[in-house]
Structure 1
């Protein structure tokens, strides 16, 4: 009887730990990019903080509601490629109000996409081998982080790697949680927060009256929509499919578009389906049983809300921590997903070469006309697959 109770408790804790990790990784990896992008587009420090707080609340609540209602480990995040793109644009005509107007227009286009059925059919037609190869290519960079961390910070990274390896040996299910705990202890004992970080007030939402300009719509809204759809939503759906979950695109586009429109009023950037962090919540490390992984995004959503409420302290702590250590523990959590994706991608000889092309293109990290490598890996793999299948018979 005690063993049964222990097993039940461990099974409940596993997806929760995975969800917390996914949120911390997603936040820690890109919140500085988001703040820099908003500032570069004309936001004051207070407006940039409001944008970060708003999007944390938006994706936090959306993660909770979507996972609870669907019973699927669907993860929502902000548009990291969109933030990277926004950083290169600069302040448009009309200033920051025009940027918020562009955010709203982009959200409207995502909502409109939810009503276009051909897009859903297009996503559903992606071959499984290609989807798995794209997922593997996306995961590879992060899975290399533990090794890079050993090279950069051996005294800090080796204990984390050793804890994970010992966990695999003696308590396989707890290997990643053990590594997370060790990482937390190391960061808590080695990170020094700036003075006065606890003196700030609670974060607040600052509404910005949007201005709709042709310049901002052309320079920001349209490219942001393309980048978000091609580099986030499409790979996010592929991640879910690669892990065995059938997700209807239209409701997701409607939900993320609506939340994006609401958070845009307070300076929040576009929300979308998560890709990399989605693999943490939807992969085998979240739970051996695919049907019991859905609490992971709920835990991630709660964590995003907490990070939003303590944005100044959390940002200061994570900014003062070595980013490579945060990436390292995330990479360890994704090893199982990488192995599973590579195995599925290379299983069939008929699709092996297109899958390899998809994998290497995605892993290359190239960006062409503002669109990231996952999209081009997907396109390249599908084109080669169609070409090989259309070869004339001898």
Structure 2
């Protein structure tokens, strides 16, 4: 399959549109709780978290529509779910949420630079995959513990959610997280009195935030966010497109997602990037037998992300009104697959295993020094041990 045959284009398809709707629902429902928790943990207020969720959903929706229509390829865009988990484990930084917003902007600049300046992209790709995956696994570890902790805190609400997830995973893995979310909603309405929500919450309220730029936020948030987004989202997203016969130049796609990150950041959005998991729904044969018509799936998916973004205020207010451990349960279940994949890849090569374990443990510890989060220190420790184990005295380069 060649790019020329794919770019010939095709008419609108209801089959592709239904695949796009499914991709948008799965992508949003499976990870919006992670995004909200990440923004709240980094210091955002409820209103700022709603603004960030709205900015991300609208930005990634418009970015997906733009790139798919421009290239006539099924380019799916998402927010950085691992990046949101990174924020949750990093916690509040010096300078508050304004400093975090400054870090989001700097991460966006780095993503644009990686797309436009090839050496930077090569440097990111040069990070040993074992260490990048170990850092990601360490970031996700705390979230993945949430369902276990929630069973002890509220078993009557949590166990039905886990059971719904497990049964759906057994028969149709794609629907596992939506099933868990529906079960959580059912348990909430059946057992919890949800306070009435202010009508103003129904309307989106973007909150511009004046960024602050601090060294600790740059090193502790911007750099790890950039690496996690590139390693776990952008590069796998390109791999999904390539596996389905599409061969776009990666640089323009990375740079465009970075531009939309810059547009979302002033309103609290942390990162916009290529989708990895939901990309397969839009780029695969299930979207349409004709590869030239699958781009409509990504277009429709982007349009629905915009719709979901306009409901962000309501969604965030609802999440704030229900037991936090139940929302964290859904978020933790949503990240189990990513955690398992990252940990497997981290430990695959025996010669890199010790450095990967050090990276994972240091990152998962959650400790911070000089206001810089554990993800940076975990990667630094792993790189140091990696270099030490591979160094040979007297070896000429």
TM over 0.5: yes
* Offset, 1:155: 0.5
Structure 1 match to 2:291:
none
CA apart distance, 1:121: 1.1
Work out the CA distance in 2 between the residues paired with 1:12 and 1:63.
11
- Name the structure 2 match of 1:21: 29
Counterpart for residue 78 of structure 2: 75
Once residues 349 and 90 of structure 1 are traced to their aligned partners in structure 2, the CA distance between those partners, rounded to angstroms, is 41
Q: Equivalent residue for 1:239?
A: 232
Q: Of 81, 90, 95, which aligns to 1:89?
A: 95
User: How many Å separate the matches in 2 of 1:14 and 1:384?
Assistant: 43
Offset, 1:114: 4.8
Matching residue of 1:336: 337
1:269 maps to 2:247:
no
Moved more, 300-309 or 181-190: 300-309
What is the root-mean-square deviation of aligned Cα atoms in Å? 4.8
Q: Give, in whole Å, the separation in 1 of the partners of 2:51 and 2:284.
A: 39
SS at 2:156's partner residue? helix
Contact 1:135 1:242 in 2 (8 A): no
The question of whether the paired residues in 1 share the 8 Å contact of 2:17 and 2:296 is answered with no
Note if contact 2:261-2:270 (Cα within 8 Å) is conserved in structure 1.
Answer: yes
The number of residue pairs the alignment matches comes to 362
Task: Give 1:330 shift.
Answer: 2.5
Change (3 A) 1:62 1:201: same
Shift of 1:245: 4.6
Distance 1:144 1:294 in 2: 37
* Aligned counterparts, 1:186-335, within 5 A: 186-195=187-196, 197-198=198-199, 202-204=203-205, 220=213, 224-240=217-233, 245-246=238-239, 251=252, 254-263=255-264, 267-269=266-268, 271-273=270-272, 281=278, 305-335=306-336
Q: Give the unaligned 5+ runs of structure 2.
A: 1-15, 242-248, 288-293
Say if 2:54 and 2:310, in contact at 8 Å, map to a contact too.
Answer: yes
Q: Any unmatched runs of 5+ in structure 1?
A: 1-7, 40-44, 211-215
Cα distance change, pair 111–304 in 1 and its aligned pair in 2 (3 A): same
Q: Is the 8 A contact 2:358 2:382 kept in 1?
A: yes
Residue 138 of structure 1 aligns with which residue? 139
| Distance (whole Å) between structure 2 residues aligned to residue 90 and residue 299 of structure 1 | 36
The C-alpha deviation readout for 1:118-150, integer Å capped at 9, x for no partner, is 321111112222222222222211111110110
Judge conservation of contact 2:79–2:273 (CA < 8 Å) in 1: yes
Conservation of the 8 A alpha-carbon contact between 2:93 and 2:371: no
Q: Deviations over 1:270-319 (max 9, x none)?
A: 542569xx77657x9x7997998999987885565344423432222110
Cα distance change of structure 1 residues 377 and 82 upon mapping to structure 2, 3 Å threshold: closer
Deviations 1:330-363 (A, max 9, x none): 3223323322322222222111111111111221
Contact in 1 for aligned 2:35/2:53 (Cα 8 Å): no
Please give the secondary structure, in 2, of the residue aligned with 1:75. strand
* Cα 1:378–1:187 shift into 2, 3 Å: same
Q: How many angstroms apart in 1 are the aligned matches of 2:29 and 2:311?
A: 17
Deviation at 1:375, TM superposition (A): 2.8
Q: Cα–Cα, structure 1 residues 340 and 201, in superposed 2: closer, same or farther, change >3 Å?
A: closer
What is the aligned partner in structure 2 of residue 347 from structure 1?
Answer: 348
TM-score (norm 2): 0.69
Q: Does 1:149 align with 2:150?
A: yes
**Superposition map of 1:351-370 within 5 A:** 351-370=352-371
CA contact (8 A) 2:108 2:259 kept: yes
